[in-house]
Every structure is written in structure tokens, then in C-alpha cells.
């Protein structure tokens, strides 16, 4: 823990942010873009030498292993993702990867070789903004049968995930191919909170006990395209007006529940033909619902269908479930080890739930898992203004180091 170097950590963090870096401080580095592939290549150069081996699997998850003294034991794993939203911040995902690599460097400096190997994973397409659903890499790692359906998914430009995945495999020649979903002893992911709770409470470290459940829907409204100047209002089948009314009522219905734990977002709204003087004949919009309790997610599911039916007017619609994930409670033993590591840093800490979903959500299906948060200034994320105090970033890496070593020597 003492060998974690804050300056080295921040330098790596800033250099990674240069890949896709924007003048406004944001980062545009979508999953498996040429920008992300260049960043992956740079990362491969950070850990070299006899103790290290890089691997890549069929989901293009990129993993570096620092060998342990006992090759027969399953490795301890940390990591996160380096893909971003179309316009994201410099820390979301990237911090968990860089903090993991800093731990490996600290072990090098300390001349420590742990009993179990320690691995840092860079999971593929966590954001889900280019290829839907998100967290493809980690969900395929925890259940390799999922990969097949992901391969056919296309991005907005019609490129298949499969071809993007193949490009990634070719772009990292130094990484050895490894079978998807190898055994892992335990997984701890460090991440920024992406919410306001820790900053408000004045905490530097957060032990994440649960990730709220999430459901993604795609709603398509079908109307009838006609001339804006000649078609009487009464005879219209206006897909845009109908969809806007649905979204407006959904927002009102969600707010009316006065539930601070509820998250309800429409982030996409696409119109065809999208012409100023033509009545729209098709609108497709997304719905993102999250809650720590599964029962509330089911209630929201029913509410969604009720509101759509009540507001369809002269149009028709269909709803497609894109993704569904129940709340995730983390492993008690890993949480206990993480807690002692956090206490050892003497940094002010708290226990909290995660509002965002993370790769750790899927790792929890295949191995004992927990998460460590550092605060987000003003709770801002998925935004150029996303930031965290450097001292908090360093405390996070120190706690992560202590926890990983404890797990790797157990």
C-alpha cells in the first residue's frame, strides 16, 4: 500500500484520457473504436517483463496477469472498462483499470510476488452506447453462451459487433488468446461513484454493498406520414406528438411516485422521416429504469405499459425489452476484506449502493465480488465535467492494493 505512487497513477490516468480527449475536457472513446484500440495498445506497454502476460478472449476482453507463486490457484481480479459514452468523462471506467495497473506497479516496486496471480481486466463495451446492451464483455465472461447473440448486434452505422471484435483481436498482437470465462478467485472493481452521495457526506472511499437492478426498453410508435400543411389535426396519426405525449406522461408518473431510489430516463428519441413539414410516421425511444428492489422494477414495468396504452391515440406501438438485470448484492467475505483495507487507509468512508451498473454486476455471477467507490464532484458523470479529487483517487488505489494483496495471499 505504501508503494502506491499518486503521481504515477495520475500521469497514467491523464495519458489514457488523451486517447479521445476533447478540448472541453471530455473524452470520446466509444467501444472498440480506433481510438479505444489505440488506447488498448498503449496499455499493453505499461506492464511488461517476466512477471507479466497479456491475454485477450473471444469477447475482446483484454486482461493482464501478474503471475503468482502458485500457478495452480485461480487469480484475483480487478479492472473495469475504458470505453466511454459518445461524450464521457476522463474517469468513468478508466479509473478502475489505471488503479489496478498502479497496484501492479506498486507490487513491482515492493518486490512482492503474491501467492495467487493478480489480473487487471479491461472489459469490452461496458457503456452500451455503441453496441446494446452494455457490459457485453463482462456478461459474456460470466456466461460465455451470451457471446453468440452479441456478435450480430449492429451499431448506428450498421457495423456488427463481431467485426469490431475481430478488429480488436488483430489490433493487440502481443496479447495471447485465452478461453472466455476462466476461473477467478475473487473480483474487486474500483470506480467513481457517478452520483452525489459520497461528496455530500464528505467521504473519500465507499464500500459498495449492492447495485440497483436495471431494465432497458425500446418503444417504437407507428403513425402515418402526411403533409403538415394540408392534413387536418383531427385526422392525423402523428407518431412524434404521440411519442412526446407518452414520454411526458411517463416522466410525470415516475415523479409522482416520490421515490428517491427510482431512476427513470428516456435518453434516445429518433424520428422518421424527421422533416419540418412532414407528420412523422415513426418514432423510436428508449426507457432506462433502475431501482434497488426488484419488486419496484416490476411495478415500473407495469406502469410503462399502462402509460403507453393510455396515450397511443390514433397510433400503434410496440415495446422491446433490451436488457433486464435484477439488483446485485455483493459477497460478504470480499466486502469484509475490502473493509479492513479501507480502514487501513484511515480515509473517511461509507457504505452505499451503486446507482450505475458496472462490470462487477456480471462478475458477481461467477465469483465472489465487491466494489470500491471514490467520490464524483457534484455527482457529475457521462459528461466532460466529470472529476474527482486527486487525493481521493490515490486513497482508492491504496485501499485496492491492500484488498487485492490480502485476497491473493489468502
Minimum distance of its own copies from residue 394's CB (angstroms)? 23
d(CA 172, CA 42): 10
What is the three-class DSSP state of 346? coil
Q: Which stretch binds its own copies (CB under 8 A): 3-11, 39-47, 277-285, 402-410?
A: 277-285
- Tell me the sheet residues that pair with 210: 329, 353
- Per CB under 8 A, the list member of 244, 371, 400, 406 interacting with its own copies is 244
Query: CA-to-CA distance for 303 and 204, rounded, in angstroms?
Result: 38
Grid cell for residue 91 = 474517469
**Hey, which residues between 286 and 315 contact its own copies (CB under 8 A)?**
286, 288, 290
User: Which residue is associated with the grid cell 464528505?
Assistant: 202
| 371 grid coordinates | 466494489
Region near its own copies per CB under 8 A, out of 4-12, 179-187, 191-199, 325-333: 191-199
Among 7, 45, 232, 302, binds its own copies (CB under 8 A): 232
d(Cα 95, Cα 17) in Å, to the nearest integer? Answer: 10
201 binds its own copies per the rule CB under 8 A: no
Closest to its own copies by CB, 276 or 302: 276
Provide the mask over 123-162, with x wherever binding to its own copies is found by CB under 8 A and - wherever it is not. Answer: ----xxx--x-x----------------------------
Would you give the binding string for its own copies spanning residues 212-231, x where CB under 8 A is met?
Answer: x-x-x-------xxxxxxxx
Phi and psi torsions of 54, nearest 5°:
-95, 140
Please calculate the CA angle 89-94-96 and round it to the nearest 5 degrees.
130
Q: Helix, strand, coil proportions of the chain in percent (round to 5)? A: 35, 25, 40
Examine residue 279 and tell whether it contacts its own copies (CB under 8 A): yes
Least Cβ distance, residue 110 to its own copies (angstroms)? 35
Q: Which is nearer to its own copies, 220 or 224 (CB)?
A: 224
Give the closest residue to 368 by CA, choosing from 330, 339, 342: 330
- Quick check: 328 binds its own copies (CB under 8 A)? no
Binding to its own copies in span 74-113, by CB under 8 A: 85-87
Site for its own copies in 347-366 (CB under 8 A): 354-357
Amino acid at each position: 500500500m505504501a508503494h502506491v505512487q499518486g503521481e504515477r497513477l495520475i500521469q497514467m490516468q491523464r495519458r489514457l484520457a488523451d486517447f479521445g480527449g476533447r478540448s472541453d475536457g471530455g473524452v470520446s472513446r466509444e467501444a472498440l473504436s480506433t481510438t479505444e484500440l489505440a488506447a488498448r495498445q498503449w496499455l499493453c506497454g505499461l506492464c511488461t517483463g517476466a512477471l507479466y502476460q497479456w491475454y485477450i478472449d473471444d469477447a475482446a476482453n483484454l486482461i493482464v496477469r501478474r503471475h503468482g507463486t502458485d500457478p495452480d490457484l485461480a487469480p484475483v481480479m480487478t479492472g473495469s472498462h475504458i470505453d466511454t459514452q459518445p461524450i464521457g468523462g476522463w474517469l468513468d471506467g478508466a479509473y478502475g483499470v489505471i488503479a489496478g495497473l498502479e497496484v501492479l506497479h506498486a507490487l513491482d516496486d515492493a518486490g512482492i510476488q503474491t501467492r495467487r496471480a493478480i489480473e487487471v481486466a479491461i472489459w469490452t463495451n461496458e457503456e452500451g452506447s455503441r453496441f446494446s446492451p452494455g457490459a457485453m464483455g463482462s456478461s459474456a465472461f460470466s456466461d460465455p453462451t451470451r457471446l453468440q447473440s452479441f456478435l450480430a448486434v449492429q451499431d448506428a452505422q450498421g457495423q456488427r459487433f463481431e467485426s469490431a471484435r475481430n478488429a480488436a483481436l488483430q489490433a493487440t498482437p502481443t496479447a495471447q488468446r485465452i478461453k472466455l470465462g476462466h476461473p477467478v478467485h475473487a473480483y474487486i472493481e474500483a470506480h467513481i461513484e457517478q452520483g452525489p452521495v459520497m461528496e455530500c457526506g464528505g467521504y473519500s472511499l465507499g464500500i459498495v454493498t449492492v447495485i440497483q437492478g436495471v431494465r432497458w426498453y425500446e418503444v417504437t410508435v407507428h403513425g402515418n406520414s402526411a403533409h403538415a400543411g394540408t392534413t387536418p389535426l383531427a385526422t392525423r396519426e402523428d407518431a412524434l406528438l404521440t411519442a412526446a405525449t407518452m414520454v411526458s406522461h411517463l416522466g410525470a408518473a415516475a415523479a409522482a411516485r416520490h421515490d428517491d431510489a427510482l431512476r427513470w430516463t428516456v435518453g434516445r428519441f429518433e424520428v422518421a422521416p424527421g422533416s419540418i413539414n412532414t407528420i412523422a410516421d415513426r418514432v423510436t425511444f428508449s426507457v432506462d429504469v433502475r431501482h434497488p428492489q426488484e419488486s419496484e422494477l416490476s411495478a415500473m414495468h407495469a406502469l410503462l405499459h399502462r402509460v403507453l396504452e393510455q396515450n397511443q391515440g390514433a397510433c400503434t406501438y410496440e415495446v422491446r425489452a433490451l436488457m433486464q438485470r435484477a439488483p446485485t448484492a455483493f459477497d460478504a467475505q470480499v466486502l469484509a476484506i475490502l473493509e479492513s483495507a479501507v480502514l487501513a487507509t484511515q480515509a473517511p468512508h461509507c457504505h452505499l449502493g451503486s446507482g450505475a451498473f458496472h462490470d462487477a454486476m456480471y462478475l458477481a455471477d461467477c465469483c465472489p465480488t465487491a466494489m470500491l467507490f471514490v467520490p464524483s464532484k457534484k455527482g457529475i458523470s457521462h459528461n466532460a465535467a466529470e472529476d474527482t479529487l486527486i487525493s481521493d483517487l490515490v486513497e482508492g488505489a491504496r485501499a485496492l492494493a491492500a484488498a487485492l494483496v490480502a485476497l491473493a495471499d489468502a
